Structures are given as structure tokens and as C-alpha cells.
Structure 1
């Protein structure tokens, strides 16, 4: 394990953290999200099977999980490659690819994309939400789950020698499922052995991040090396958010480019706009948490690619960063969000 200390592990091997550049800490490049298909509203059934075309793009943006083909991002390797080249041209250096077991992880494709584009790609170890856990995974002990994650980092994932550089995104639901709790405990145990970064997908409830941190802490995790994803759809109350920030993990606003009238996965949530995300990030910076904020897009469906009229992997660099400057976020703070903080998180201790 000493060979990992002070390094970042990409799908092409270990690199010095100084080589990361601008980093998106939560993206997907090859995955299937069919596990989260939502049947469309009555009268819209034909749209679920229709080809993706211009006249359906707004409906698709509002109902991305009700279109079966839209969930098959793994079919778009060529388009993803083209976008990674655009991301690199826009100044991007690194992508953390958060696809874990349960989402059709494909580390061979990630390696191919890294080789062909020159973008550093970091693969995720571990398991997604309990609904995707196989009967075998559900039956495993914490020790067995720990061994799998450690092996994916030290030796390679999915029968390859392509190694993961983070654990996660580790999927959690609300209420938390028993197999998810075991995976969280195993994540903490694996991190204790590896001194590696971990990243969590919380349940869609304001108490979920607090519950997860408690479980991780009790199991011995290093919360300072832990990212809580999807904060933009999870904790809305400012006082509660600042209370959570005090626990010491990274707060990730990773749904930039995603705006819904009605959020299918939790209709009680009003998904914020990108402008609101920028203001929330600025508030956290103003409150002294500039060292603990990360941003990304979490692209995981076809309609978010530029090929299909979406924002693409370069959206933050091309559109959000300029708007952040307009809203008084200085370039040195932007560099913290996109360079220094990812570098600090991704470096093995």
C-alpha cells in the first residue's frame, strides 16, 4: 500500500496529483441506468420507446428516466470520446467515473477512452444502491464486501488488471437498506486499509447524509477523505446544510446542467437551477467551507450529451465558471473547487 501514498490512481496507473488539472469529481462515461426506469405518465407510453429526436428533447429533459434508450449511456462510447476531447480542449484534465457494480461498470472502455483522449480517468470501486445488489451481494458479510473493494483498488476490477482509484459512488437509499449498511461499513473498513478517497450517493432525504456519516464514523472511516454527492437535491435548508458541513466531509454539488419541473425520483423536491447552485456554492465559500466544496455534472443519461442537445462534460468550464465570476466568486476560489480540492481528496494518504 505504501506505493499508493501521495499518488492518484487512474485507469492507466499511478500519477502525481499535480498532473490532475481541472477535475470533474462525479461523472459517468459508460453505464446503464435501466435499474431506475420510471414508466411514463398515462398517454405518454409511446414516447418511452420512440427514437430520440428534436421534437421530443424537452419531454426527454423533463422525463429522462421514462425513456428506455436514454438510460443506455454505454452505447455512446464514440460520442463520449468526442466530448472528452472537447472537455480537454476547454481546459479539463481529469474525470472521476463513479460507475460501480450494479450500473454496468466497464473499466475496459474507461481505459480505452483515457488512452485515446489523454484525459485522466479514475474508476470507482464498490456497489450502487441496494435495489441493484444481487442475491450474492446481499448475502455477503462485511468482511467479504471489504475484500472485494480492496481487491478492486489493489489488483483490478471485473476480472481485469485495471485498478480503481476511489471507492464509490457507494449507493444509499432512504430508508437505508440492510445490504447498503453493510456496504457502508465495508467501505469504511476498506478505506482504513487503503487510506483512499471514498464518495457516497445519499438517499433522497435531508437526514440521509447525517445517517451515512454516523455509520461511516462508527466503522472507522476518515470523513475528511469522504465526498457526499448530490447535495443540490438533498439538503435545502441553509442552517441544516451548515450543520452538516461541520462534520468535515466534502460537499459535492454535482447536478450542474440538470433542471426539472418535476423530479421523477422525488416529486417533493424542487430541483434547483444552475444559478441557484452557484449561489449555494458561494454561500458555502463565504461561510468558510471553500476547502470542502466540489462540483460536477453527474452525466448518466444520453440526453445530457451534446450529441442529443445536452450540456455535456464541458458545461461547468464553458458556462458555469464565467457565471461564477459574474457572481463574485474569484478565480482562486474557482481553482480550489476544480483543482485543489479534487487533488486533496483523490490523493492516497
Structure 2
């Protein structure tokens, strides 16, 4: 039977339901938990987070993939509690958002050391919690080109994905040529990689999205809701219609089986204010109605939010 690692244990992929494939319970840069300006008590974090996840579950959401990674506020015991309270499956990740978010201890690590770190978190558990990671996070550091550390992380992730069967999710899809080269050198099938943030307002024009699909990769349109129409939009915002049209070009252009969507929202951001009003529930409140209004049928919507994520997250032996 197909299975996916969640923080409360493996579950059959068929039970994931609607999946938000790239989200954050709480994301922050290393040390953000020490910043008194944005510091939050556990009670405050629960107050912000539980209603969002409960609403997600009430809408029909089944699984929330937390793409936070090592050094950026990952708290797996907290995730376990949230999952038990809300009924939402939570998938935690190993890996890093990017080499520039890795603390010096990891920044000096070899490919083999990083590989063993990732494999341990996938097969044994994260930080003594017993909860196993279900996806590996990798990313391109600020500047838009992979650093040497990024390349070591990507290579270690490819080896860990092959060893354990879990997939890889990337932060940004820019510099995809280097990524694809590493994955192909390591023998990792590219359908095990979701190239994320192809739709963000900063990098969409620089991302070789069609080329990635031609190589066999998957595309993550996962910054839905970060719109220039917001009262105080973030720098990576994009006009709502422009992003939707970008997504629809692939959905209606014969690639519906290769694309996934999410909101990349923070339930309770760490060390920064977050984006007011933006939550994972944008998927149900805006995105899915927009897709229906633009002629996307229910079978395709199910493929995008149920079938594709289940296939992607399934552990491959």
C-alpha cells in the first residue's frame, strides 16, 4: 500500500484528501525566536494557528505540508499537537530553505554528512520526536544562483530521496539547470522533484517552467494569494489575474498532471509580521472558485489538489 510520512505516523496516500503542498505552520530566519519585537508565547501561536487549520479541515482540507525545514522554526512536537487537535495531517520536511538559512554547523557539512542527516530524519525521526519527515526541502540562496553549499544540499537531497523514497520540494525554481544537472548525475527521476515558486512575482519571468516540465519535473504554483491588490503587498506579490493565467496555461495546456498549487502562507510567522489576511484557506476561498469560474472541471480540480499531491508524496520503494 502507498504511504506518506506524517508527524503522527505513516498514512495511506489515498487518505490525504485535499493537500496544501507548500505551507508553513511558522517560518522565521535563524534566531528569530530570540527577537523580542516579534516573540510569541506558545499560547499566542496556538491562538493564531488552530483556527486556520480547523477552517482548512472544515473546508475539506486533509493534509498540510509544512515546508519550513531545518533552522527556520520547525517544531515537530508542536505540529503533532496541532494535527491531533485539528484532524489535519501534517507532513514535516527535512532539508533547508536555502544554504543561506543554514547555521554555520551545517554550512560546513559535507555532502555525506547532510545525506545522513536527511536520511535519519526520514527513517528514524526529527530531533527525538519520533516523527519522520515526509519530504526533503532544498533551495537557491538569495541572489538567484546556487552557492556551493546549495549544491551540496541538492546533491545530498538527491541521494536521500533515492535511498528513502521520499520526494524533494524546492524553494524557487530559478537556476533549474544546475538543479536538474545534479539530480540527473545522481540518477533521481525528475518526477520526484517539485520545483516550487514558479509563480512568484520576482522570479516568474526568469524561471524556465516549460523546460522543467520537458525534463520531467513538476511545477509548484505555490504563492497564490500574494497579490499586488493587497493593501500592503510583499515584494514577491503578483497581480491575481496574471498568476492565475500563468497557472491556467499549464492546467489547460496538457500539463495538469505535472502541476501542483498552494498558498505558501504562514499560520503564525516567526520574527516578521507576515502578510495580513493571507492564509492557507485562500485555496478554498479564492483559488478553487477562480478555477471553476475559468472553466476548470471538478475532475481536474481533484487531480490538482488530491491526485497529484498524493502521487508526489507517496514514498517510492
TM-score range relative to shorter protein = 0.7 to 0.9
Alignment pair present for 1:255 and 2:223: yes
Q: Which runs of 5+ in 1 are unaligned?
A: 37-48, 50-67
C-alpha separation in 1, matches of 2:41 and 2:263: 17
How many Å apart are 1:180 and its aligned residue?
Answer: 1.2
1:180 lines up with 2:150 in the alignment: yes
The 3-state SS of whatever aligns with 1:89 is helix
Range moving further from structure 2, 77-86 or 184-193:
77-86
Is 2:49 the partner of 1:80?
Answer: yes
Q: Distance in 1 between matches of 2:129 and 2:186?
A: 29
The structural deviation recorded for 1:126 is: 1.3
- Which residue is 1:9 aligned to? 5
Aligned partners of 1:202 and 1:212 also within 8 Å: no
For 2:214, which of 237, 240, 246 is the aligned residue?
246
C-alpha separation in 1, matches of 2:62 and 2:50: 14
Q: For residues 286 and 72 of structure 1, do their structure 2 counterparts lie closer, same or farther at Cα, with a shift above 3 Å needed?
A: farther
Partner SS for 2:115: helix
Q: How much does 1:276 deviate?
A: 2.0
Contact 1:191–1:222 (CA under 8 A) maintained in structure 2: no
- Matched residues in 2 for 1:89 and 1:312: separation? 14
> TM-score, normalised on structure 2?
0.87
Q: What is the correspondence of 1:156-235 to structure 2 with a 5 Å cutoff?
A: 156-168=125-137, 170-173=138-141, 174-202=144-172, 206=174, 208-233=175-200, 234-235=203-204
Question: Paired residue for 1:331?
Answer: 298
Unaligned residue ranges in structure 2 (runs of 5+): none
**C-alpha RMSD of matched pairs (Å):** 2.9
The whole-number CA distance in structure 2 between the counterparts of 1:289 and 1:327 is 16
Corresponding residue to 1:120 among 89, 92, 112: 89
SS of 1:95's equivalent?
strand
The number of residues matched between the two structures is: 305
1:156, distance to aligned residue in structure 2 (A) = 0.6
Shift of 1:21: 0.6
| Matched residue SS, 1:143 | helix
1:20 aligns with 2:7: no
Aligned to 1:41: none
Separation (CA, whole Å) in 2 of partners of 1:301 and 1:151:
27
The structure 1 residue matched to 2:264, chosen from 291, 294, 298, is 298
Q: Deviation digits for residues 238-281 of structure 1, max 9, x if unmatched?
A: 9x43222211111011111112489876xxx7x42232222112
Matched residues in 1 for 2:21 and 2:197: separation? Answer: 11
SS in 2 for 1:236: helix
Larger Rg: 1
Matches within 5 A, 1:60-75: 69=38
Structure 2 residue 31 is matched with structure 1 residue 31: no
Mapped pair 1:286 → 2:282: no
Does the CA-based 8 Å contact 1:166-1:197 persist in structure 2?
yes
Q: Report the Cα distance in structure 1 between the residues aligned to 2:234 and 2:27, rounded to whole angstroms.
A: 20
1:155 aligns with 2:124: yes
Question: Using the alignment, how far apart are the partners of 2:82 and 2:278 within structure 1?
Answer: 20
CA contact (8 A) 1:31 1:99 kept: yes
Q: The residue matched to 2:49 in structure 1 has which SS?
A: helix
Please state how far the C-alpha of 1:308 moved relative to its aligned partner.
7.9
Q: Distance in 2 between matches of 1:26 and 1:118?
A: 18
Task: Say if 2:27 and 2:73, in contact at 8 Å, map to a contact too.
Answer: yes
Secondary structure (helix, strand or coil) at the match of 2:300 reads helix
**Deviation of the 1:236 alpha carbon:** 2.6
How far has the Cα of 1:152 moved from its partner?
0.2
